Every structure is written in structure tokens, then in C-alpha cells.
Structure 1
Amino acid sequence: MGLMGCVAFMLLLFCTTSTAHYLSYKFYDKKCPNALPTIRASIRRAVSREQRMAASLIRLHFHDCFVQGCDASILLEDSASIKGEQKAIQNMGSVRGFNVIEDAKSNVEKICPGVVSCADILAVAARDASVAVGGPSWRVKLGRRDSTKASLAKAQRDLPLFTDSAETLIDRFSKKGLNARDMVALSGSHTIGKAQCSTFRGRIYNTTAEIDANFARTRRHRCPAQRNNGDSNLAPLDLVTPNSFDNSYFKNLIQKKGLLESDQVLFSGRSRTTQNIVIEYSKMASTFKSDFAKAMVKMGDISPLIGSAGQIRRICRAVNKH
């Protein structure tokens, strides 16, 4: 190999490995040793006040990473220079937990000003939220920096929709470096949390849908057939154990009791791959939890800002003013 070939090879090697090597489990060990316990305390308080917050924080991290990577762009509010992601159809009125992240950031800023990114706080909060409701734990790689921009267009393009087919979901996740198994495992976070009537009305009133008749009937009680009537009324995604991180979600899908269309297609759609994974997870809770933790780590690796890119925001809802 000639000199130019060696240079090109070394540049390629650096580009494909530097991000993975930069993120570190020990990133704040010396810079801010009490960062993780401080974040954990904030998340525990928030979840103890409202169990649903655990699902909201996991979803917030997910909706951040799928747009521009895990860079806390979802936390940015609209401004003169930013058209944020919070008003995307997949986020508006449903993504929440911003105040919890802001509170955790404020507490960390008191002990280590300008050191810990909002993007890292989001990643840690998702892990701590999972643990708070009996879900798995995992080691969170750290060292992400915060974006100075957001993208409404990318949010509307890249985030999953509650009407997506299994094939569409597989494709969306594949574009982010996540496979079908990762997708089904991450969908399992719907074992906790709630959905708004507007997202499942079409399913529970569709007589041709793959849905248990009694389940549909019970869901209609707080979700009227008329649009704009009770749209924001909530129903648990897992009617059996709505506040426990377990594998009931997958058992529900086999019984045609998935609340969202994008849930039920994992078992009832045309993908034999996702159907087999659902069956496996319904029988083996430990496998589901282990795979969920692995998938969360992979998701946290999506295009982080590192080195001197971006900034460490002082508050999570706005970029720093120089």
C-alpha cells in the first residue's frame, strides 16, 4: 500500500472508531464525580411523584436520538433562530418530561457548572427511569455534547408514527443503525406509559382491525368515536400491569390487545421476524429486559456530538448566549 493509501486508510479507521472511543463510562469521574447520583436523585423524585414519568423520560430520549442523533435537540424551544422539534406531529402534545430534565440539569449545574451536557442527562435519565419502575439497568456511555440547532422537518420525517407497518418500522430503525430485534425490544417500553385517544381511536372503532372485541369495547369508554371529542384522554398502553416494566406488553399483542396499530403489527403484521421475537419475549421476560438494555445502549450511540462540536448548554431549553 502506498503512502496516500495508508493515509486514506488511517483516516477511515479514525472516522469509524473515534466516536465510539470518545464516549466513555467514566467521562465525568474526575470532572464531576457526583453527576450521576445527582441525576438519579432527580429522576427518582419525579417518578415517585408520577409513575407515568418513567415512560415519558424513556420516550424523550428515544425521540431525541432519532432526530440528528442524541444531542438534546428535542429540548430546544422555538426561538427567532430555531424551529424546534416539539411541534412535530409525533411530539406535539405527547412528548413530555422537559421540566424533569431541566430540574436535573439545574441540580447538576449547582455542583459542576458547564460540565454535564443535557444530552448525557437525557441518556442517564432514561436508564434511571427504567430502574425506578422495575426495568433493566445498563451502563451509560457519556461524553455527548448539546446541539445548537433543531430540525422540525427531520423530526416529522424520521420519527415513527402510530400508524406505521412493521416493515416501515424496521426500515426507520435500520436507517438509525438498529435492527428488527432492537426495534421490537425498544417497542417493549410500551409496557409502561399511556397513549392519547387520538392515537388509538381509529383502531378501536375499526371492525376489521386485528383487535380483541372486548378489549376494544373497554377502550371506547374514554375515547368517543367523534374526532376532537376526548382526543387527549389517556389509556394505559399495557392494561394488565401499566406501571411495571415487564413482558405483559408482548403477551397482550398475542391476544390482539395492542393499543396502538404500530404495536399490534409487530405480531399481526406481515413480518414473520417481528412476530417470532414477540413470541420469544412473551415467554422470556429476562431475554426481553436484556435485549432492551442492549438496544438502549445502541440507540444512545446514534450520531452524538463529541469533542468541540456543539456546546454544553447552561439550560436545556435554549442555546447559550455568548
Structure 2
Amino acid sequence: MFFRKTRTRSTRWLIAIGALALNALILAPAQAAAGLNVVATTSTLGALAREIGGDQAEVRVLAPPDRDAHYLDARPSFMAALRRADMLLEIGAGLEEGWLPAAQRGASNRAINSGQPGHFRAADMIELRRSITMDGPNMGHVHEEGNPHFNTDPRRLAEIAIALGERMGQLHSDHADTFMERAERTANRLREHAEALADRVEPGQHIVVYHEDLDYLEEWLPVEIVGYLEPAPGIPPTARHLRSLVSDLEGTEGTVLYAEFQPPRGAEFLERNLGWPTHAVPLDPPADSGLEGYLELMTTWAESLPQR
């Protein structure tokens, strides 16, 4: 009787150990094949991560593309997403300074803290334009590192794509070569599309924009920014400033561009008084976009201007 109980107990232990071993064998390949859990602050960075990561990256975007990424709250859902992240992609240069540090603290994930390989700050990978927030009065942020709105410059994004491919390869070395191949292909497509679109736009275009968030269009399209609807960064358009713009630009031709989430009143005033066409444009692609979404956005920007 005692022998049977001992044998039964031993058999159960053997079965349990075998089950654990089997689970380990099943889980080990799955864990080895698991991709990167990437959290991007903007949908432009998310699109790059999806294109470069392919099947080896699961990407979550925090900032809705129809909102100003300067002014978000550190939501509990942001913290939950960051807590599970292998990699955090941010624009940097102060764009997310009002909410991202708090979300990082709430996430308590050392892997994505500043200075860690899992923290990718895109602004560190390129040279930035000087920010107009550094000159004169303003009521909001001051971007001392430079203008952080390089999401509207595909040529700079091409540089960022290469740097992102390298970083993803560091974190997931088994797929490093694939990431770099996809990054190089992404960079080439961005550059080629930018060149093709620039060739279609009538040279010497003048544009007025709302804020400095469209300044980088000057870097790849044949345009010159001749004014801002804001009298100073962070200050809404005033009647006095708009009248001054009309006086300065009277008798000239151009286009007024502003982001979809910005108020249209100032642009409409210039349209009525100067006859300049106005366009509200997105600044980022849809939240679930890959590279194609960003290429379509580039086309939208270029086609808002007179074509050859």
C-alpha cells in the first residue's frame, strides 16, 4: 500500500516536471521569435517603426494625429503602454516635454529611460532648423535645441530611418540585417518621393503659415515662408497683426497653410483680403499608418501649392 502511494506520488512529480519541460520548449522559440514592442509619441515616428520593423515590431502611437503634440496629458493609458514597451520613440527637442516625462515616470520601465538603448530621441539624429521661439516674446514653449517639427521634412526623416534601423537592430540582433535593409529602402523612398513632388511645384512660391510647424517645407519644396498668422509663437492671431500682414503682402501671390487643428480665422482673413488660397493640412499621417500613409501626406502638402 505504501509502495503504491509512493509510486503514484513519484509518477505525478514526473508528469509535472515533464509538463514544465514541454512548456519551456514551446515557449522558448516563441520568445526568441517575439518582436519589439514599440511605443511612438507621434504617428510619423510610428509609420517609420512599422515600415522598418515589419512583422518584428508591434507599434502603438500615443499622440492622436489631429491634436497638437505639444499639449497632451500623461494619461494612464500612456503609462500602461510604456510599461510594456521595449522601445520608446520620441520626437524630442521639447515637443513632448509637457507630458512625456510624467508618462515615463508613471510607467516605471527602466528600459525606456533617457540614456537607455530602448529610448530613441529622433531630434538627436539630425541637425535642426533654428526655432523662431528663441526670438522675441512668446506665450508658450521655447525650443532652445531647434525647431522640433521636422516631421514635415522627408529628407530628415530619411536620416532618422537609418538611425532607427540601427537601434532596432541593437535591441533585436537576430533581425539586425533585415531592419537595416528595410531602413535603407525606406530612406530611399522618402528621398525619391520628395524629389518627384518638388519637381511638380511651381518654383518661387510664397507661403504664410500659422506656427513654425510647417517651416521644414522650405527644406525640400521650392517655397519661401513670408509670414506667420501668429504675431509671436503661442499668441493667437490678432486683428492688428493680420492687417499688418495684408499690408506687407498686398499685390503679391501666395498660399496660406495651417494645421487642421489650428483655428481658420486668420487664414480666412488673408484669403478675403489678399485673394490667397488657404489649405488646412494634416501634420502627421493616420495613427495606424505605415510608410504609404506618410508618402500620401507628403503629396497632400505639395499639391496644396500651385503645380507646374
TM over 0.5: no
- Give TM-score, length-normalised by structure 2: 0.25
Which structure exhibits the higher relative contact order, with contacts defined as CA atoms closer than 8 Å and separated by 6 or more residues?
1
Q: Which of the two has higher C-alpha Rg? A: 2
- Give TM-score, length-normalised by structure 1: 0.24
The structure that is strand-richer by fraction is 2
